[in-house]
Chain A
Amino acid sequence: MKYRVPILITMIAGFIMIIREFIPHEPFDRIDNWLQDWYMVVAAFAIVLGIESLLHLHSRKISFKRKDWQYSVVLIVSLLLMSIAGIFGGIEDKTFLDMDNPTQITELLATEIDTIDGKRTVAQMLPADASAMSEQEQGAYIYSQLKTITVEVEDKIKVSTRHPDPKRKYTIPALYLDRKQLSLKQALKRQQIILHRGGLGYLLKFYLFGGFQFSYQYIYTSLMGTMFSLLAFFVASAAYRAFKARTLEATLLLLAAFFVMIGRVTFGTILGNVIGLDIPQITDWIMNYPVTAGQKAIMIGIALGLISTSLRIILGIEKSYLGRE
């Protein structure tokens, strides 16, 4: 139960993934999607364990006041804020419209809503004397009518098209339509437009989503981009240290890097014109032939190693991932 069953699961999953490559027949044509969906769900659930581990580690650091515990507070706070904002605020792009804001009302009035008989604008749902109303009043009206105005929206249902008469079976590529009555609020929400007029729930969602967007856009992206850009410095320091002609291998490493570096920038073209060599073309040739040869050898070797490891896993020989040899 503790080892046999997991090995069996591995074997079955692996075999299915291999044979489905050769079997176009259903259900094998979609079973790979199923399996991948399943394990992605399992892996996604597992992040709970990860977060738990992180919280556990850092909360202990804080409670024992270990060195640098203050930074653990930063970590835990940013983790909690970001995950709450992400889960409850949602990560899809949304439009929040404040009903008390005149410019946003204008924006909303121009919004088209898809209904079964074509498109309608929000403006068409206002009462006849709406033109006399101020924008704030229009907003108040729309907001008060949010739940009472219903619109018909298209809702696609997956239908297996069996005709009532079993002898006449249609298979029609187009899907059938269902008309669904929705309140305006729901209809707009489908288009990721969220209207609010100070309600607590909306405000919460607004700030959570806004907070998520803000931290994603300014904090997360900046940190990620900067961390990535550190490589520019590290590449230079690694090059200075390692590219020395100590041995023949190191010299080849150095020369190839040198040539390609020159060939990759404008400077190479200029230098080439001076000494009468087409340096970018030489670089291209090096990349095309000797470099490709090395790459191919590595790629083929990797694939063979990977295939044999995969095979050992699928046949149940390799059990190290279960902690067994």
Chain B
Amino acid sequence: METIGIWLGALLTLCIFSFLYKDNPFYKFAEHMFVGVSAGYWMGTYFHNTIYPKLIGKIGHFFWELAHKNAMVVANVNGETVRVQGISFDFIHTLEYVLLIIPLVFSVLMLMRIFPRFSWMSRYGVSLMVGTGAGLFLIGYLKSNVIQQVAGLLKPVVEHSAEYGTTWATVGNLILIVGTIAGLSYFFFSKAHKGAFGVMTKVGIYFLMVSFGAAFGYTIMARISLLIGRLDFLINTWLLGTIFG
């Protein structure tokens, strides 16, 4: 079975690589298979990782707990035997179950899209996602991308760095501040990039370009290692492992 799998994997790998030469039936086959398999995979994953544990499973658990509502649980507390009523539906606990109705209703509304007359109902689900996402992103980005980044700059400029020496670290810190100011100026929308301000934005764009170039150069490594992984599979696992085994 494993050998078949390796052969299949290797052939599909070659099919995808053939795309680099030009579009061809092998690539078309692999591409359509990939779209189909991955969509099916995600469907299974959504069912088992989200729909079941977060909705269906919880509803099932609710009925199970309901059945055990009057059960007595005996426990040993510090040598003393205590009898406790099984499950008490206190406020929050009950609320958690009652509120399950919300995702249920929203999901049904979402599926109403299948009927063109009621397709507008799917907006309810969309707006729930949009609203929650917007709130979450707002706070998250405020903290990590504004406050944290500014806080990272607010430190003494003169730095005694063991790595670069005091001079270079200090120069670096000055460049860091100036570069951030200039970079931010590039993103100004309500002022024309002319005159002295234009010079500043120009410097800003230089900083952005250096940062893009460096990121690109840094990335090449990762991309090559992916190819190494694939070729390693083709050479060591497939060719050496199964054919010349």
Q: Are chains A and B touching directly in their complex (CB below 8 angstroms)?
A: yes
> Which A residues fall within an 8 A CB radius of B?
2-3, 5-7, 9-18, 21, 26-27, 30, 32, 34-52, 54, 68, 71-72, 74-87, 90-92, 157-164, 170, 172, 176-178, 212, 214-236, 239, 248-250, 252-261, 264-265, 281, 284-304, 306-307, 309-311, 313-314, 321-322
A101–chain B nearest beta-carbon distance, Å: 15
Pairwise interchain contact A222-B110, C-beta atoms closer than 8 A = no
Contacts of A249 in B (CB 8 A): 205-206, 209
Pairwise interchain contact B220-A49, C-beta atoms closer than 8 A = no
Pairwise interchain contact B29-A74, C-beta atoms closer than 8 A = yes
B25-78 interface (Cβ within 8 A of A)? 28-51, 54-55, 65, 68, 71, 73, 75, 77
Contacts of A293 in B (CB 8 A): 175-180, 182-183, 207, 211
Encode B106-140 as 1/0 by CB contact (under 8 A) with A: 11001101100000101111111111111111110
Pairwise interchain contact B43-A47, C-beta atoms closer than 8 A = yes
- Whole-angstrom CA separation of A7 from B205 in the bound complex: 38
A82 touching B55 in the complex, CB below 8 Å, given contacts A90-B48, A260-B218, A297-B186:
no
Secondary structure class of chain A's binding surface, majority of residues: helix
A18 touching B149 in the complex, CB below 8 Å, given contacts A10-B134, A13-B131, A230-B16:
no
A80–chain B nearest beta-carbon distance, Å: 7
Pairwise interchain contact B13-A222, C-beta atoms closer than 8 A = yes
- Whole-angstrom CA separation of A172 from B187 in the bound complex: 55
Partner of A259, one of B30, B86, B204, B217: B217
Contacts of B146 in A (CB 8 A): 300, 303-304, 307
A18 touching B138 in the complex, CB below 8 Å, given contacts A41-B50, A92-B48, A293-B180:
yes
Chain B: interface residue count, which band?
35 or more
Pairwise interchain contact B111-A49, C-beta atoms closer than 8 A = yes
Cβ of B213 within 8 Å of any chain A Cβ, yes or no, is yes
Encode B134-160 as 1/0 by CB contact (under 8 A) with A: 111111011011100110110000000
- Whole-angstrom CA separation of A51 from B114 in the bound complex: 12
- Whole-angstrom CA separation of A97 from B68 in the bound complex: 33
- A14-B132, A78-B40, A294-B207 known; 5 other A-B pairs, CB under 8 Å? A223-B34, A226-B12, A260-B213, A285-B164, A307-B146
Residue of A nearest to B218 (CB): A260
Cβ of B244 within 8 Å of any chain A Cβ, yes or no, is no
Pairwise interchain contact A34-B210, C-beta atoms closer than 8 A = no
Contacts of B88 in A (CB 8 A): 159-160, 162
Residue of A nearest to B187 (CB): A301
Cβ of B239 within 8 Å of any chain A Cβ, yes or no, is no
What are 13 pairs between A and B in contact, CB < 8 Å? A41-B50, A82-B43, A158-B87, A162-B88, A178-B68, A220-B34, A222-B233, A235-B216, A239-B220, A253-B210, A259-B214, A291-B210, A313-B131
B183–chain A nearest beta-carbon distance, Å: 2
Contacts of A258 in B (CB 8 A): 213, 217
Contacts of B209 in A (CB 8 A): 249-250, 252-253, 256, 294
Identify the interface centre among A10, A91, A230, A309: most chain B CB within 10 Å of its CB. Answer: A10
Partner of A290, one of B40, B99, B175: B175
Partner of A42, one of B47, B75, B93, B110: B110
- Whole-angstrom CA separation of A24 from B153 in the bound complex: 29
Cβ of B9 within 8 Å of any chain A Cβ, yes or no, is yes
Pairwise interchain contact A232-B227, C-beta atoms closer than 8 A = yes
Pairwise interchain contact A76-B36, C-beta atoms closer than 8 A = yes
